Amino acid sequence: MRFIPQRPGERVKVLTSGPDAVAVTRHIGEPSHVAFDDGSQVAATCVNCPTTPCIRYRPDELGQETGLDITYSPDERVCAFDAISDPTGTQTPEIDTVACTGCGLCVTRCPVGAIHLTDSGIAAVNTAPNDRFQFGTTYSADEFREMTVSLAEMLLAPTASDVLRDGYLAARLAAVIRSVREAPNARNTFNVLVRNYVIALGMPAKVGVAGDTSSRVDMVFASDGTVGIAELEPGEDLLDAVRRLLADTAIAISRSGARRDALLAVIVTGRLPNARSGYFELISDVEAILALRIHTLPVAVLMLANDAGVRIGPSDLDRYFVVNQEIKSLIEDAGMVLRDPSLHLDGLGLTPGK
Amino acid sequence: MEALVRSSLHEPGRFVDASGATIESTCLNCPGQFCHRFAEAELPIVATHDARTVCPVSAISFTSGNQELLIDDACFGCGLCVMRCPYGSLFMDDSGHPAMSAIPAQYFTPVAATEFEAFDSALDRRSAVPPADMEATLRGLMDGLRPLQQEKFYRLVGNLLTAIGMPTLVSRHGDTSNRMDAVVVDARQSVPVEIKSPSEVDSVNVKSVQQALENKVIMESRAPYLAEPMTTSLAIGYLPAADRSDVSELIEDIHRAFGINIGVIDLPALYALVWDKYIALRKIDTAAIRELKGVLP
């Protein structure tokens, strides 16, 4: 099968013949390195995927039957801040450095590691051809897909110390929170951001349309027969998120026949709860009285998991990502969300690298 | 005097003797002082002076000898004192405030407390208020409540509940350590109460139901008040819910999913209960209210 350009001049890059690639290693502050079996290496570069996965999802990536009767947002954007686009129409992504918050989602969407996080905490894409990656038109769509898939399988996440360098994660998180708050539709922006992180973790997820009353639940996600119900709270009102989640859970159990033990109830928070708010006390009351465990998932953990290339399922969520009073104190001691490089990823149940 | 007949909240009751002659009621200096105090039996818990007062804003008092009724400017015309008086001596005047008949006290003879008790138990109380009047009267009362700020509305609700036999403690305004707005205190079936004043929102909605659920969870887990699993958690608001089906459906979902009862009472329904007890002289089934699931009809 020959690749048929959709538009005049449309072309992709391909790996030229030569030594095989063996690893693609991501870094912070510089483009990824593609290493070959003869010891040579080049910078990873954008190969101009026709479907631009760094910019949008395929519809099948956003679909998942959960049996819950809510209206979902069809938003296909990878970037909740509209900071990545293809202005020339040549499948060459460009990053808007003002809008970019460094959330890291486009970075992990790229199958060939062509997007990286800079030292200043935003995304950058390398698009220049090099010795091994060059524009070509005489190849097949299957061959192109095979190339991207095999490179994707060789991707190695940045090292823990790289990701957890002092203040780096905190700065990106602050930028994300600020941009959510300043967005024209803050709730919607947050919804899309969180959904995309959860998809990056390997769990298909759908979010409701903010403000639409038939979108009762903020987010549903599913994996391994477990249905996850989540309320997403970008602001401070976490107690309200608990109340909404209790109502969501009651409705899911009552109307969809979901079993309490097959439900995963999650609150995704922009910031960790204020100690005085009584949030963790309420969570433990809910567990004691309603036999329902609510998992608190800060965006910081989602960001970190995405950076580390971790793919997890609901049972991991139960085991590793329950943020309770203990872990919260640990995080606070580390000084505003994971600034301490010694708080290595294993401590949170995350193992770097794919 | 054989009987006391009440025909309207806007005029005093009338005492009727065996021959059929009647006389307007006036303050009898009753030992219980029901118009402005809850009896100890009505508040079987250690209560502050505040909680003993019938008037939500302590606006009612009497000159010595109960010659004259004094109503403070704080009075917002809730009508509770008027309904509470067991002798119909108070009535709502045209300005929407309580007033007392001007009939000279010398028409009534001072007696010893025991004799008064005998008179009180022998008194045949009759309600002669046409049902349509009840609705109109209550509507008039409640119109005056619309501008009420949170603190006063909470007190009013607390006192209305106490008045129907569900002694209620209202948390102090601004007391954030007390998560619940109010609690109906009972040895076995305490009921958390979520109160929505008209200044916050017109009526109980889905959010209030969620808060009532949270209150129940906290009550069961932490509060020093005992309740049984089927004891309800109440949400009380000003107007009947606009999205009544959403509220009812969520209550049903919560019941099916968690086995917890949430009850919703709007102010007209609460007032109707107070009227039933004090004016229509009917018994109130507070046991049923303590296990209420859904919107009180």
Quick: pLDDT tens for A296-348: 888 988 898 898 887 767 777 665 555 555 555 444 444 333 333 334 444 44
Q: Which of A206, A226, A207 is nearest to A295 (CA)?
A: A226
CB pairs under 8 A between A and B: 63
Mean local confidence (pLDDT), B6-14: 91
Q: What band does A65 get if pLDDT is binned at 50, 70 and 90?
A: low
- Give the mean model confidence (pLDDT) for residues B4-22: 89
Closest in A243, A260, A289 to B211, CB measured: A243
In this predicted model, what pLDDT tens digit does every residue of A145-177 receive, in sequence order?
Answer: 899 999 999 999 888 778 888 888 888 999 999
Q: Are B222 and A285 an interchain contact pair (Cβ–Cβ within 8 Å)?
A: yes
Q: Which residue numbers of B have CB closer than 8 Å to A's CBs?
A: 179, 206-207, 209-211, 213-214, 216-218, 220-222, 250, 252-254, 256-258
Task: Work out the pLDDT band at A3, boundaries 50, 70, 90.
Answer: low
| Residue B130 or residue B234, greater confidence | B234
Q: At B219, which amino acid appears? A: M
A262 in Cβ contact with A226 (< 8 Å): yes
Chain A residues with CB under 8 Å of B211 CB are 243
Decide if B24 contacts B12 (C-beta within 8 A). Answer: yes
Higher pLDDT, B262 or A75: B262
Between B274 and B118, whose confidence is greater?
B274
Q: How far apart are CA A42 and CA A126, in angstroms?
A: 12
* Closest-CA residue of chain B to A285: B221
Coil/strand/helix, residue B102: coil
What residues pair up with A221 in beta bridges, in sequence order? A205, A228
Q: How confident is the model at residue A351 (pLDDT cuts 50, 70, 90)?
A: very low
B263-272 pLDDT, tens per residue?
A: 999 999 999 9
Q: How far is CA B117 from CA A203, B26, B122, in A?
A: 75, 17, 8
Task: Determine contact, residues B194/B206, Cβ cutoff 8 Å.
Answer: no
Q: What span, in angstroms and rounded, lies between the C-alpha atoms of A121 and A114? A: 16
pLDDT of residue B153: 95
What percent of chain B is predicted at pLDDT more than 90? 54
Q: Give the residue, A139 or B52, on which the prediction is more confident.
A: B52
> Under a CB-based contact definition with an 8 Å cutoff, are residues A21 and A150 in contact?
yes
Using CB atoms, which residue from B220, B222, B257 is nearest to A249?
B257
Instruction: Answer whether residue B209 shows pLDDT above 50.
Output: yes
Partner residue facing A250 (CB), from B207, B221, B258: B258
CA distances from residue A244 to A340, B196, B294 in whole angstroms, order as listed: 34, 18, 19
Task: State residue A77's pLDDT score.
Answer: 96
Q: Which residues of B touch A243 (CB under 8 A)?
A: 207, 210-211, 213-214
Nearest to A254 among B206, B211, B257 (CB): B257
Question: Is pLDDT above 80 for B77?
Answer: yes
B139-178 burial: b if 16+ Cβ within 10 Å, else e: eebbeebeebebebbbbbbbbbbbbbbbbbbbbeeeeeee
pLDDT value at B88 more than 60: yes
Q: Say if residue B224's pLDDT is above 90.
A: no
Kind of pairing, strands A294-298 and B233-237?
unpaired
Do residue A253 and residue B209 have CB atoms under 8 angstroms apart?
Answer: no
Contacts of B257 in chain A (CB under 8 A): 249-254, 260
- Tell which wins on pLDDT, B229 or A334: B229
pLDDT given for residue A85 in this prediction: 97
Residue A102: which region, alpha, beta or left (left: phi > 0; alpha: psi -120 to 50)? left
| Distance from the first to the final alpha carbon of chain A | 32
pLDDT band at A242 (very low <50, low <70, confident <90, very high): very high
Which of A130-144, B61-75, B207-221 is the most confident on average?
A: B207-221
Chain B interface includes A239 (CB < 8 A): yes
Q: How do residues A53-64 score in pLDDT, each as one tens digit?
A: 999 998 888 866
Residue B46, pLDDT > 70, answer no
User: What residue of B is the nearest CA neighbor of A288?
Assistant: B221
Residues of chain A contacting B254 with CB distance shorter than 8 Å? 246-247, 250, 254
Residues 6+ apart with CB under 8 A from A3: A12, A137, A139, A140, A141, A144
Give whole-number Cα distances, A129 to A31, A91, A139, in Å.
13, 14, 17
> In whole angstroms, what is the distance from residue B49 CA to residue A194 CA?
52
Nearest to B257 among A243, A250, A288 (CB): A250
Predicted confidence (pLDDT) per residue in A244-302, tens digit: 999 999 998 998 888 887 888 999 988 777 767 788 889 989 999 999 989 888 898 88
Place of tokens 């609705």: B135
Share of chain B above pLDDT 70, in %: 94
**pLDDT: which is higher, A25 or A262:** A25
- Is A253 within 8 Å of chain B by CB? yes
| pLDDT (mean) for B153-168 | 95
State chain A's mean pLDDT as an integer.
Answer: 83
Q: Which pLDDT belongs to residue A325?
A: 56
Residue B40 pLDDT level (bands cut at 50, 70, 90): confident
In a mutational test of the A interface, the residue from B252, B254, B262 whose CB has the highest number of chain A CBs within 10 Å is: B254
CA distances from A61 to A58, A151, A231, A313, B106 (A): 5, 20, 21, 16, 90
Average pLDDT score over residue span B32-48: 80
Residue A4: what pLDDT?
58
State how far residue B196 is from chain A, nearest Cα, in angstroms.
16
Q: Is 90 exceeded by the pLDDT of residue A44?
A: yes
Q: Would you say residue A79 has pLDDT above 70? A: yes
Distance from CA of B207 to the nearest CA of A (A): 8
Residue A88 predicted with pLDDT over 80: yes
At B291, which amino acid appears? Answer: E
